[in-house]
Amino acid sequence: MSKPAQGWRIRIWPWLVLALATLPAVWYVVDFESDIDPEFPRVVRPTFNSYPPPAYRFAEPGDTIDHIAVYVAAAAIVLSGWGLFRGLRKRPWLAAMALSLAGFWHAATPGPLMDGWHGLGWRTILNSDAPWAIRLFLAGAAAGLLVLILWCVGEGPIDTLWKKAHNHGIAWLIVVSTALILLRQVGWVDHEPIGFWPRWIYVWGLLAWALALLRVLPQAPAGWSRGAIGAGLVLLWLGLDFTGRGILWHQRPLHRLREVVPGRIYLSAMPTYQGLELAQERHHFRTIINLFPEHTPERSPLWPDEVRFAHEHGLNYVGNEPGDDPSGENFIAQTLTLAQDPSTWPILVHCHASMDRSPAWMGLYRFVVQGWPLADALREIERHRGLRPKASVTLLYNRVLPRLAPERSALDPTVPVLRECAAGTADPVAGVIASPASKNRQDSQALKALPIERR
């Protein structure tokens, strides 16, 4: 490793970086958004959760915080590789590389997963339901990394290694990194917003480790272009990050996939053909409901592939087709009725980004079909979006809830709150309601014909 650096400034800067890295996490649990929806600026949009919605969204497996962890772990691999290439003593850098690889794999295979799929994380080694080939591969990789680490650190007594690390100013960074990474595995640190703090703790542990490596990184040889070396390392870093995101995609091939009712209803963004192939092996969908009107100019370029996949695999495909219902409310009633038919399960419901139509549909399903209180349904929408529902969702709910669930709408305390939030705002869809009163009664009766599920 490089020579011990002197001066408190050199020793303190990694801790300043680590401290600054905690600020985003704190910010996301105290900063409640108050932006106005420009489409309907007079509609009030309250927050129904105890913490700001972004904290819940980022805490989801495979979302923002896990991507940050992959990014930092990739940097640690690059730093370890340079140290192995340029360091005078190879064994410590070999150990650093092994630890960085283990951290990278853990970051790229976050859980929990759905429907009993085993995943590719280290915990799969102990999963008796996972294929033996995968378990043996992961166990062999883990054993190999462990043996390599023990061999590398076994070149001297522990107290000697500690003194060397202390002289280089990285001993306590390594201690903090180890403590944080181990703390990530402990369930008792996981409080609301669920998943938020453990995922940040892992990011900070990886960052402390990367800072320790950066602190003792060997210098470039004389005559070498530092710019070229830096550019090469950055390209390698980005390549590893891309690889990690590919592993994340394999774990979760459908973007924003959410389990609404296990084994029955799932939510996602617009799927790709390849993503559907992987997801179908795990979830065995029978029906796909596309909430987006793909006959409009805003259609997704992935739509033809989705339709082709449904036809090739014998799935029931339900699209928001053009018709005599410009408001889309009859389509909503139709899909809610369909979602109660066991012969259609499991169902994948999606729009394009799973930010507007899909979570709004999920809220209707919770309230109309499952009998959730409306406030709980709105809380779930906020957590899924990472934002409050758009003002148009407030207008939509004010229109359709009395139609789809008249008795519950009359009793739920949050229904009049939403009406008050939209007071003074004209609903542009109200004048194009497609169905007469008799049709409204038929839709309501159709929904009542099947049993309402209760939480």
pLDDT tens per residue across span 120-139: 999 999 999 999 999 999 99
Q: Is the peptide bond before 112 cis (omega within 30 degrees of 0)?
A: yes
Once rounded to an integer, what is the mean pLDDT over residues 440-450?
47
H-assigned helices in 323-450: 329-338, 357-364, 374-385, 391-404, 406-411, 414-421, 437-448
User: For 356-374, how does the pLDDT look when each residue is reduced to its tens digit (9 = 90+)?
Assistant: 999 999 999 999 999 999 9
Three-class SS state of 80: helix
Give residue 431's pLDDT: 66
Would you state the structure tokens that stand for residue 15, as one six-digit string? 């801790």
Decide if pLDDT at 188 tops 90: no
Task: Return the axis-axis angle of helices 64-86 and 226-251, rounded to nearest 10°.
Answer: 140
Give residue 166's pLDDT: 84
Question: CB within 8 A of 153, min separation 6: which ones?
Answer: 91, 92, 95, 161
Question: Could you tell me the pLDDT band of residue 432, with boundaries at 50, 70 and 90?
Answer: low
Question: Could you tell me the pLDDT band of residue 277, with boundaries at 50, 70 and 90?
Answer: very high
Give residue 6's pLDDT: 54
Three-class SS state of 320: coil
Once rounded to an integer, what is the mean pLDDT over residues 402-414?
97
User: For 191-226, how does the pLDDT look when each residue is reduced to its tens digit (9 = 90+)?
Assistant: 899 999 999 999 999 999 999 999 999 988 888 888
Decide if pLDDT at 3 tops 60: no
Decide if pLDDT at 248 tops 70: yes
**What's 89's DSSP letter?**
-
H-assigned helices in 256-386: 273-283, 303-312, 329-338, 357-364, 374-385
> pTM score, two decimals?
0.91
Give residue 420's pLDDT: 98
- Please report, rounded to a whole number, the percentage of residues in the chain having pLDDT higher than 70: 92
Question: CB within 8 A of 52, min separation 6: which ones?
Answer: 28, 29, 30, 31, 32, 33
Quote the radius of gyration of the chain (alpha carbons, Å): 26
Question: Could you tell me the pLDDT band of residue 434, with boundaries at 50, 70 and 90?
Answer: very low
Give residue 187's pLDDT: 81
User: For 9-44, how does the pLDDT look when each residue is reduced to its tens digit (9 = 90+)?
Assistant: 778 999 999 999 999 999 999 999 999 999 999 999
Least confident of 47-56, 183-192, 429-438: 429-438
CA 90 from centroid of its chain's CA atoms: 38
Q: Strand pairing partners for 265?
A: 261, 347
H-assigned helices in 5-44: 8-21, 23-28
Question: Could you tell me the pLDDT band of residue 454, with boundaries at 50, 70 and 90?
Answer: very low
Give residue 437's pLDDT: 46
Q: What is the mean pLDDT of the chain?
A: 91
Decide if pLDDT at 438 tops 60: no
Q: For residue 289, report the phi and psi dihedrals to the nearest 5 degrees.
A: -115, 115
- Strand pairing report for 258-261 and 265-268: antiparallel
- Please report, rounded to a whole number, the percentage of residues in the chain having pLDDT higher than 90: 78
Give residue 433's pLDDT: 59
Question: Could you tell me the pLDDT band of residue 155, with boundaries at 50, 70 and 90?
Answer: low
**What whole-number distance in Å separates Cα of residue 122 and Cα of residue 437?**
58
Give residue 8's pLDDT: 64
Once rounded to an integer, what is the mean pLDDT over residues 97-124?
94
- What residue ranges do the domains of the chain occupy? 59-251, 258-448
Give residue 452's pLDDT: 43
Question: Could you tell me the pLDDT band of residue 448, with boundaries at 50, 70 and 90?
Answer: very low
Give residue 264's pLDDT: 97
Its CATH architecture, for the domain 258-448, is: Alpha-Beta Complex (3.90)
Give residue 413's pLDDT: 98
Question: Could you tell me the pLDDT band of residue 156, with boundaries at 50, 70 and 90?
Answer: low
Once rounded to an integer, what is the mean pLDDT over residues 292-310?
95
Burial string for 406-421 (b: 16+ CB within 10 Å, else e) reads eebbeebebbebbeeb
User: For 379-397, how does the pLDDT look when each residue is reduced to its tens digit (9 = 90+)?
Assistant: 999 999 999 999 999 999 9
